[in-house]
Structure 1
Amino acid sequence: MSAYEQAAGQSGGPWQGRRCGGGAFAWKPVEILAVVVGFAIYWPIGLAVLGWKVLQRKGYPVPDVFEFARARFTDFASRATAQRQAWQPFGATKSGNAAFDEWRKAELEKLDEQRRKLDAAEREFAEHMDNLRRARDREEFDRFMAARGGNAQ
């Protein structure tokens, strides 16, 4: 019997310190339960727990893995934002013809202005519909209060 097993036997509860298997990839019963329950609830959860255990086996400290993933996602998000900001519609690179480039720039500015007007009209319409809903709700409430015999205000 190893010193670990002796210490585990003296520690208390029936499952405390026990491991299934041996070596670096030893599974605690709670980890096995987590994988089974994870797969039973939703398979990606079980897969994530399994991946976490594999990462432990390979010697990756798990909190560092989460930090690495967060940093990678942040890098990806910042690159995507930079690309979106640098994006020019219809491959608007310089054509070599100054007159054509000026015309294209003017047309794109007109389209941007139309887009802004369309967005403003959409917001105004949404506000109008919201006001209509409020008015209808107020009418229904007033009708309810009148039918109930109470005073609406």
Structure 2
Amino acid sequence: MTTSSTNIDYQAPYARTVREGNWLQRSERWLDDKGKGAWIAAMVLGFIFVWPVGLALLAYMIWSKRMFSSNCASKRTRHSSMRAAMRPSGNSAFDAYKADTLRRLEDEQHNFEEFLKRLREAKDKAEFDQFMDDRANRTAEDADAGDEKPSQA
């Protein structure tokens, strides 16, 4: 497909994709695509050539948890798939089904969280009751032990 005014073939394999974001965001995405090794290499090169850049990269990697995560790109793909799930498909029947399923899943999650809360409260109450019973038993034992000793007067 070509346009008559510019004669550019947008379907050609050499056509450049549209770049989103500024150069920092593009650099971050590029390094994420390459993996943790690319981040470390960029940091080391930053220390070698301009040490404040290496220090800034190290601080950013620690602050953004890239240093300790398993994969940098996994975060981005998780968020992009979530955005794709929320985007309408254009088919009204499917969109209604999807909205109903998501609402049902949210209700189930809410009910499960309430169940877990009640379960934690019951466990806490049982532990507290056991503590109070143990305390009462110890107090009764201490009182019995105190009565058995002869007083020295």
Q: TM-score, normalised by structure 1?
A: 0.47
Q: TM-score, normalised by structure 2?
A: 0.47
Give 1 or 2: higher helix fraction. 1
